[in-house]
Amino acid sequence: MRQVALTLDEIHALCVAALDQEARSNSDAARQLYHLQRRYLLALMSFRAPPADLLPRAIAIYRLADGLEARISFGALLALVVVRIEGFAPWEIALIAQAAEYCAGRIDIRPTLPEQPNSWYWLTRTGHQRPIAWSRQPPTCRPELLYFDCSEMADAVSGLARQLNSGTPARLLGLPPAANLPASVEALQRAASRWRAPQERLFQRHELISGMQICCRIGELWRSLRGEEGDDIDVSQWMTLNTGPQGYAVMHLQGNVGGLTAGSALGIRSAGDADWAVCLVRWARSDNPAHIELGLERIAPNAKAVHIAPPNAEPVAALLLPPQPSSAMTETLLASREQMPLSEFTLIEEDLGRVKLTACKTGLLRHQTTATDVREFQRITLPR
């Protein structure tokens, strides 16, 4: 996958360079911006950093261009830059990029400050830093800036999601057939919510360099929580880059990380700790196969390996997470999206050789990723 992405990236880079040699027209500018947007998309889908000069080059081309085509291509690129796309799986990124291209004409881009800038982003016209949300950090000086707002495009993408969810064939909307699947609709809704309201940081990050262990695969974490050990349970070594109340940014040092993607659930602990905290991978990036960084959201300080059994179905493995008073969250279950019960089920717990069966019903969905659901549930007290 990475090699294919690199080859396609080289092709798009050659197309941009070839267009540089031609007399510049609005059509040439739009084509160049399209190829730059594709280079950015390929970098995201293969978890690589985009070329450092990509955004400055796109801004320079856009400033000299005129016309709707160039505006749409440039807007689609800006939409990908600010949606925090690293929190999505590759197939979701591709779908979101298609929706962004379809709706990018709704992005408002202007060289002057709007009257109500709260939902807007700003960036310097040199493009040597990523766009910044006005609500997060207004610029200290305002000459030579570009401003843009994705909220109308977000409404358009939400409209696409509603049409897909109501059964409109995806091909009629210019999207692939898989866009009608519930997981695709949910991915578009998440992207729209991010475009509509720029995220504000609630807590400061703190640099903290320390060693951590990660169990990347949820099945192996489940067995480790049951006290099983063995060569088939991989524990990799990582280093924290910064930490905050909600999670960590970590860098891989050594060990097997096969199967790790944005949206995965994993276990993390310090080298001297016996308990696994449970995290969701919110973003992943890699400049090369030997360098991997993850953004992790911590959702529980510990977990218990259990089974859950929907009516008339075989039990499946799940993690029982404790209540979180700080977030007003009761006890929850973490399981794959395909296996999470949507109504009543039986919770099966084992302690010291004793098995406890509890009738339960599912409650509020607390977290959802491409691969994982985290749901609250209620234990049902049966009459004696």
CATH number of the domain bearing residue 227: 2.40.10.220
pLDDT tens-digit readout, 172-195: 998 999 999 888 898 899 899 889
Residue 201 placed within a domain: no
Check whether residue 87 and residue 189 sit in a common domain: yes
Residues 123/115, Cβ–Cβ less than 8 Å: no
pLDDT in the model for residue 203: 43
Q: Under 8 Å CB-to-CB from 52, ≥6 apart: which residues?
A: none
Residues 41/94, Cβ–Cβ less than 8 Å: yes
One-letter-per-residue 3-state SS of the chain = CHHHHHHHHHHHHHHHHHHHCCCCCHHHHHHHHHHHHHHHHHHHHCCCCCCCCHHHHHHHHHHHCCCHHHHHHHHHHHHHHHCCHHHCCHHHHHHHHHHHHHHHHHCEEECCCCCCCCCEEEEECCCCCCCEECCCCCCCCCCCEEEEECHHHHHHHHHHHHHHHCCCCHHHHCCCHHHHCHHHHHHHHHHHHHHHCCCCCCCCCEECCCEEEEECCHHHHHHHHCCCCCCCCCCEEEEEEEEECCEEEEEEEECCCCCCCCCCEEEEEECCCCCCEEEEEEEEEEEECCEEEEEEEEEECCCEEEEEECCCCCCEEEEEECCEHHHCECCEEEEECCCCCCCEEEEEEEECCEEEEEEEEEEEEEEECCCEEEEEEEECCCCC
pLDDT in the model for residue 63: 85
Examine the fold and report which residue of 154, 178, 196 is the final residue of a domain before the chain moves on: 196
Check whether residue 286 and residue 311 sit in a common domain: no
Examine the fold and report which residue of 196, 221, 239 is the final residue of a domain before the chain moves on: 196
Check whether residue 50 and residue 153 sit in a common domain: yes
Residue in 217, 318, 212 with CA at minimum distance from that of residue 260: 217
Give the separation between CA 179 and CA 72, rounded to whole angstroms: 22
pLDDT in the model for residue 138: 84
Check whether residue 291 and residue 238 sit in a common domain: yes
How many residues belong to the chain? 384
Give me the residues paired with residue 372 across strands.
336
pLDDT in the model for residue 9: 67
Examine the fold and report which residue of 167, 196, 225 is the final residue of a domain before the chain moves on: 196
pLDDT in the model for residue 4: 65
pLDDT in the model for residue 289: 64
Check whether residue 189 and residue 95 sit in a common domain: yes
Residue 384 placed within a domain: no
The chain-wide mean pLDDT, for the chain, equals 84
pLDDT in the model for residue 356: 92
Q: Based on the structure, what is the number of domains in the chain? A: 3
Predicted TM-score of the model (pTM)? 0.67
pLDDT in the model for residue 309: 93
The sign one gets for the Cα dihedral 36, 179, 107, 142 is negative
Which segments of the chain have a pLDDT < 70?
1-6, 9, 20-26, 47, 85-87, 142-143, 199-209, 230-231, 287-289, 326-328, 384
Residue in 348, 341, 345 with CA at minimum distance from that of residue 373: 341
